[in-house]
Structure 1
Amino acid sequence: MLLPLTLLFFSWGSSQVHAAQGNESCSTSTQRLQLGTYQFTSDCDTMWWCNSSNICDWKGCRRDEFPFGYWENATIPEGCPRGSFCPDEEDSCQPLLAVGSPCQLNRDDECEAPPDFQDLADNTGLGRNVNGSVCLNNVCMWANVTLGLPCAVENVPYTVYTQDTEFIDIVSRDNCRLGLYCDASQKVCMQMKELGESCQADKECQSFNCLATGVCGKPADTPSHVAFWVYIICGIAIFGGSA
């Protein structure tokens, strides 16, 4: 299931109100992930991080290619070079973490890649892993568990906001190889299902789309094809209405 990135845009603006700026006091004890969106936040404004002296300091690295919240003409920190990562605090680049090391929520990019990362990496854009590495339950793992073997799973409930309401979207991730998923009850890797097969969650389907009817449907981004006769009827209606 795709991570609800729109949540980050929603929470970013609300989390920056009355934030401290450079050289102002802050508290590292208040650093946290926002409930529902899990966006990292602190007492400091977007451009600063709270250092060990509880003072807002200029950030030493950036996570995003196009970071938000910087002043116009401000000097934006550099991204981290290969073999390192920028943590949520964005204080400085850190070396990649070995398997079994603690990592931050949904930060697969913090973990060292396996030797066969080319075979394990998810290049679909669905966010299943980064270079074959995955951070589950705040521990670095490799997404290399094969069919029928025990696996780890992490279910995170995100709050999704719409114009009129809000609802919970549970994002489930695991350390199974591509083409497999970690069954929630048995905790073993199982084969992903094809169109029309019964399912209980998006992750079970090759299309990552488990319909409300309980079967795997086409991918959610599948283009809709309109029959040619529909164009003919529309054309007749347009010309008839303008006559």
Structure 2
Amino acid sequence: MLPPLVLPLTLLYSLLAAPAVLAGDVPWLQACNPAHQKLQEGTYQFQTDCDAMTYCASNSTCALRGCRSDDFPFGYSSNVTIPDKCPKGMFCPDEQDSCQTLLSVGSACQFNRDDECEGPPNFKELADTTGFGLNVNGSICLNNVCMWANVTVGLPCVVQNTAYTAYGPDGEFVDIVSRGNCKVGLYCDAQQLVCVQTKAIGETCDADKECSTYNCLADGTCGRTTDTPVKVGVWVYIVVAICIFGGMIGTLIALYFVHRKDRTAEHEKRLQYWREQNAFRQNILQMQETARHSLMSYTPGGSPRSSQMIPSEDSVGPMTHGANKASALRYYVSDDGSQMDDRSDEDLMMRKRDPNPGRF
């Protein structure tokens, strides 16, 4: 297989050599130059001054096209009626001006327009059915001349090598396409110029045309066709299924442990908070109990020092007969079992025992 030739400056040179007026933008009935009609370098696409719906007529004006080669032509507006395709026995040239009769063998044809040439009587036998575009109805246009693709093994043949500009990850490169007038299943050797049998998969090759699959691999052997579907064994499906389900189960297990770790951390936080609150509650209860015992020690008869603490008459309020002679401290037990004092500081008053009860 021919090595790719990188052409990084091809596009730049083509832009510099392009005319000032952009090709393909002249509308209907406007002036054009038939001399500007050519094949674009690298792609060999037909170029003209006129737009996609017109062609440059002999009177140097753009006229509406009279035929089309494609089922879905490019460049037509949705509200425009596209021209019809040519009937059987006729073809539409690159200019797409009007349908013309098929050309006989030896007639001049346009580049790679195999459909312009008339087929041989045994066209059904010679027609290409591989889908590689080797010929059309057994006829082929080589070097702009109509021929029949009917040359057999060992006989002289005609070859045409065309360099196309292709694009890849590393930039531009040249893709050489070689065609010949050999029968389907044969190729025209460029060195000997005779028809040779195509090679099977796995045999050594130098170009795509040498392989029956039209695919010469980079290692120099014929490979399968590029559109061949890849078939894998049943074990591949089993391994893939195991990997998928294993990944799902592994993900679920990993999520379980991660979430369990988070739950454990949250549980520890809540438990620590409960312990702190419980400790605070016990401290408060202990403080209340201590305060109760401390205040009880200052009640009458509760301490020897109580007899010495005799307040003055101004500081002692009048005693009421309905006063409770028991301790002045009043407690109640809350719902949670803690003892709460419902008196304010002003309610806690030390009272003197009257030595003569009943006297005014």
Relative to the length of structure 1, the TM-score reads: 0.90
Indicate the structure whose relative CO is greater, using CA pairs within 8 Å and at least 6 residues apart: 1
1:40 to 46, 65, 71: 46
1:234 to 219, 240, 252: 240
* Pairwise CA distance, 1:158: 1.1
Corresponding position of 2:74: 68
CA distance in 2, matches of 1:152, 1:28: 31
Q: Write the letter of the residue equivalent to 1:65.
A: D
Residue deviations 1:148-182 (CA, integer Å, cap 9, x gap)? 11100111111123466322111111100111100
RMSD between superposed Cα atoms in Å: 1.6
Corresponding position of 1:143: 149
* Pairwise CA distance, 1:16: 7.4
Q: Write the letter of the residue equivalent to 2:183.
A: R
Q: Write the letter of the residue equivalent to 1:31.
A: Q
Aligned residues: 229
CA distance in 1, matches of 2:133, 2:201: 21
Runs of 4+ in 1 over 3 A off after TM superposition: 15-18
What does residue range 179-194 of structure 1 map to in structure 2 within 5 Å? 179-194=185-200
What does residue range 125-136 of structure 1 map to in structure 2 within 5 Å? 125-136=131-142
Q: Does the C-alpha gap of structure 1 residues 17 and 240 become closer, same or farther in structure 2, counting only changes over 3 Å?
A: farther
2:91 to 79, 85, 92: 85
Corresponding position of 1:219: 225
Corresponding position of 2:34: 28
> Which runs of 5 or more structure 2 residues have no equivalent in the other structure?
1-20, 250-360
1:49 to 27, 44, 55: 55
Corresponding position of 2:163: 157
Relative to the length of structure 2, the TM-score reads: 0.61
Larger radius of gyration: 2
**Structure 1 residues 160-169 or 77-86, which shifts more?**
160-169
Secondary structure at 2:238's aligned position in 1? Answer: helix
Q: Which has the higher helix share?
A: 2
What does residue range 175-214 of structure 1 map to in structure 2 within 5 Å? 175-214=181-220
Instruction: Report the identity percentage.
Output: 61
* Pairwise CA distance, 1:213: 1.5
CA distance in 2, matches of 1:28, 1:217: 45
